[in-house]
Every structure is written in C-alpha cells, then in structure tokens.
Amino acid sequence: MKHANFVHLHVHTQYSLLDGMIRLDDLFKKAKEYAMPAMAITDHGNMFGAIDFYKQAYANGIKPIIGCELYVAPRSRFDRTTSTIGEATRHLVVLVKNMQGYKNLMKLASAAHMEGFYYRPRVDKELLKQCSEGLIASSACLHGEIASHIVRGNMDEARKAALELRQIFGEDNFYLEIMENGIPDQKIANRGLIELSKDLSIPLIATNDCHYLNADHAEAHNVLLCIQTGKTIEDKDRMSMTSDQFYVKSPEEMQALFADVPEAIANTVSVAERCNLTFEFGKFYLPKFEVKNPEESLEDYLERKAIEGLDKLLPTIMKYQKEDEAAVREKYHKRLRSELEIIKKMGFAGYFLIVSDFIKHAKHTGVPVGPGRGSAAGSLVAYAIRITDIDPIRYGLLFERFLNPDRISMPDIDIDFCQERRGEIIKYVTEKYGKDKVTQICTFGKMMAKGVIRDVGRALNIPYGEVDRIAKLVPTVLNITLVEAFKMEPRFGEERRKNPQIDKMLSLSLILEGLNRHSSVHAAGVVISDAPLIERVPLFAPKDDIVSQYSMKDIEAVGLTKFDFLGLKTLTVIRNAIDFI
C-alpha cells in the first residue's frame, strides 16, 4: 500500500488528562485506514503515554514520533507573579529525533513538573537552550508565543520570538505551525505565520491539534472540558475549543485545506522521516547491591547466604519430615542449587539480595512483614534468605511459576508490610540507594460506568437526583461497562426512549467511558534504579512525592526494576492487638 503524503504531528491522546480523548488503539486504526507512515503524540506537558504509544505504533506498523506540547513560562520557570494561566504559559510543540532528544525531553517534562509548576507544568527558554539537542520544535497553536503576538498585531515581537526559537533549536529544527480550524483568530495567525516563513526562511508545517478521533466527537469533547473545569455547558465563560474541527482529519482533508501552501503538507513527511527514535526493549537495569567483600560476586554472595540460611532452617524443616536427615538435606540442597543456577543465569542475584535486605531491615526495626504472597512463595532461595517464611517443598509449590528460565522477565515479589509503617521501608531504600534513584509509580483513574454518568450529568446541568437515579441503575459488578449494563438492566432502554436528555447523557457517557480521568500514585509499586531516574524515565511530583510519569507496565518495558511494597491493614491490626496485650 502506498503511504499518504501527510503525517499528523500535533496529537493529544487521552493522556492529556480531561483534554485529549483519543484512545491509542483507535488512533492507530485510523492511521492505518489513512495509510499514514507515522504518527506523533504531543500531550500537554507530560509523557504519560510515550511508551504505550511507541509500542502500539510499532505493533500496527506505524512509525512512532514521541513528543510533547510544552508549556513555556514567559520569563523564568521559577517566576510565579503572573495572574492568569494565559499570562503564565505559552505552548510549544517538541518532537524527538533520536535517543539524545528523548533524554532531553524527559529532562524538560520532569523539570516542568518539579520546578516550574504554576497553573501548569512549565519550562522556560533557559531550559530549552540546555535541552534542545535531538529535538524538533514547532510554534504550536493560538496559545503559542508567536501566534499570540500575531493575533495581537505585534509582528515585530512575533518575528523576534521566531528568531529566538530557531536559534535555540537550530536552523533545521524549528517550524512554524499553521492550522485550519475555522477560528477567526487562526486565520489571522496563519497569514502572519506564512509571512514570517517567507521573510525568515523558516519552514511551515500543517497540523490539526487533534483532540478527538472523529468529527462527531466534538460535543463529547466540550463535555470533557466541562468535567475538567467544573463548569456546565450552559456556562458562557467556560473553556471550550470554539470549533468542531479538532479531529484526526484524513490526508485528503488536510491537503484540500492547505492547497495554497502544499509545502506545509510535504514538510510533515520530511519531519517524520527525521524522527528515528529506537528503544532496546528487553534490557534490565538492576540497581547495584553492594557486597562488603569486593572480591565476592553478587552470585557467590547470594549462594553463600542461601546455603547458610537453608542450613539454619533445616532443624525446623526436619520437624515435619518422615525421611532421614541426610535424604532431606540432599533433597533441599539439590532444589536450592537448581534455583540458584537459574537465578544466576538470568542475572537476578542482585534482585534477591535487595529484597532480602529491606525485609531484614523491616524485621530488625519491628515493622511487621507478611510471610509471603503469590508465586514467590514457590522459591526455596527466597525462603532460605528469609524473603518468605514458607517452605515451598513442604507445600508442593513450584519455582517455575515464579521464575521461568524459558521466559525472560523480571521476578515479581510482592511484600506485605504493616500499613502504618510501610513508609519507613520506602524511606530506608531511598536513603540506601539515593533519592535520585528511587521513585513511586504513576497509575491512572478511569472514567468508569457509574462515574462517567455522574460526570456527564453534572456537565449537562441535569438535576443531581435524576443523575443519581440513572447511575444507580448500573449493576454492582466489578469493572462493568455501560454496554454490559444496558444489556443487563432494561430500565436504561425505557429511560432513553422517554427522556431525550437522559438519552443524550448516556450517549455522551458511552463515548467518554474508559478515558483516563486523573493520575495518582500506585498503591504498592516502587522503582529502584541503577542510575539517576531522570536518565531513565520522566518524573512528576503530585503532592510532593516523586513519581514516574510511566505506569507500571511501561516502567517494566524500559527495563527498570519494580518492587511491590504492599501496605496490609491486617498486619497493622495484628500488631496493635499484640501491643494491647
């Protein structure tokens, strides 16, 4: 199939929380339908979806272009004197060309959240100068610095801003972005941008600032913005796109819109051809566990500690054995040697030692620890070095369910700690391995069946009692979808037939259901890295915690080691009960 001669380089997915509503699987179906050779992701101020996007793009035969629509402070990112969000931020799109560009984008996205957050996560031009290598930039939308000046009639300031951004990113790495969305100010901006392009020899690209997939999703997107801002569609001063054109347009539509500037279409393909980021998935970046004797390897140290630990446990093990001690010893040591061989071969000795170390610290400081959870209870090595308190041979548990030599993947040991003192163990590993190498993991709350009905109902200004009554029709079934609920509960159909307002609420809810609603911190996951995290993942800081912008599956995809520190209320209750005796 012949590829289209246009690529979307300005796209907001559902990872632009409560702003973008494009699901990645739908995006790539559309890209394949349009025969697009590549597609970009440019979510607002974050990289939440970068790895998910990259993997899904390749799975669909589409070239992925990782990017971000950054918020740029007018002065320093540390300055917080401006009074409105418009004054505090200007938009700028950046796209990754190579691994150096990816690393620089991670630095920008992290600093925006951890240093420049004011209304929005912001960078500044000082930071852009430091992190411009490997990036292509474009002037973004009407909220971009250049377009803003043009609309206000300040062509001299627009020219100055364009020259400054070209100087920051390099002559071949900065583009002026034009759009056709029906907004009157956009037409003014386009005329000025085309003029600047001719005067300054800065190339144009045509984009559509895509926020939703299809043209008929514009109304649902307006409702989504109301949910974000706490407004209703009846509020005259609410934030809205003031156009219904921000969907993923076909190459033919874009060509027709920009027939007078065909180079702006052709340049999108040229930009895509210059973006060639590749990841080496399957590598693991294990944190370094320090062994006191520098002449002893991690593997030898683990073997020694496991043998010593097993020998100490043998008197306890013998209490429930019918065989003689020599036979039992041989059986257990044979299993231990077999497990150690697999662990060494897979390179996971350090992982076991790290887990053993922080569990040992927990027990030493009186933090209650669970006896073992999940498949890790099948490891005799874990039992020998006191990660678990369960004898896998006694209970017939298989090591291969925990660590399979035929499937290379990181071990996954879930550890239960007293809920009230779990933070002490996270603090311990943070101090031991370095604050810059330990982080918690991001997760996303979704707009689920009952919740999305309530959200949409509020946005449509339907009386609370009416919305609540409809939401309560959703059967109490874990992770039930609206489609399933409609099949199970015939009253939904009755309500839709007799009340157009309810029908509209449920129709819009169907479109928005399942989108990311907010980011939060994973209940258990903690990453310990071999290198400063800023070199491996983008970070952000909700409620002053340092958290990865990547979710658990993406953390594992980029090779980082995840440890599960579970806070178990039962352990807290047991400890308190003992204390009361």
pLDDT tens by residue, the chain, 581 residues: 689 999 999 999 999 999 999 999 999 999 999 999 999 999 999 999 999 999 999 999 999 999 999 999 999 999 888 877 777 789 999 999 999 999 999 999 999 999 999 999 999 999 999 999 999 999 999 999 999 999 999 999 999 999 999 999 999 999 999 999 999 999 999 999 999 999 999 999 999 999 999 999 999 999 999 999 999 999 988 888 889 999 999 999 999 999 999 999 999 999 999 999 999 888 889 898 999 888 899 999 999 999 999 999 999 999 888 888 899 999 999 999 999 999 999 999 999 999 999 999 999 999 999 999 889 999 999 999 999 999 999 999 999 999 988 777 788 899 999 999 999 999 999 999 999 999 999 999 999 999 999 999 999 999 999 999 999 999 999 999 999 999 999 999 999 999 999 999 999 999 999 999 999 999 899 999 999 999 999 999 987 788 999 999 999 999 999 999 999 999 999 989 988 88
Order of strands, sheet of 547-548, starting from the edge strand that comes earlier in the sequence: 414-418, 561-568, 516-528, 438-446, 547-548, 539-540
pLDDT in the model for residue 28:
98
Tokens for 386? Answer: 């006191």
Tokens for 105? Answer: 């984008």
pLDDT in the model for residue 392:
96
Distance CA 469, CA 195 (A): 57
CA angle at 47 for the pair 436 and 12, rounded to the nearest 5° = 165
pLDDT in the model for residue 84:
78
pLDDT in the model for residue 32:
97
| Helix locations, 258-297, DSSP H | 262-274
In order of their start, the domains of the chain are 24-213+248-274 (3.20.20.140), 298-443+519-580 (no CATH)
Tokens for 272? Answer: 């895509």
pTM of the model: 0.93
Distance CA 369, CA 227 (A): 42
CA angle at 145 for the pair 226 and 272, rounded to the nearest 5° = 85
pLDDT in the model for residue 544:
75
pLDDT in the model for residue 1:
65
Query: Are β-strands 414-418 and 90-96 bridged in parallel, bridged antiparallel, or unpaired?
Result: unpaired
Distance CA 159, CA 165 (A): 10
Contact 485/473 with Cβ under 8 angstroms? Answer: yes
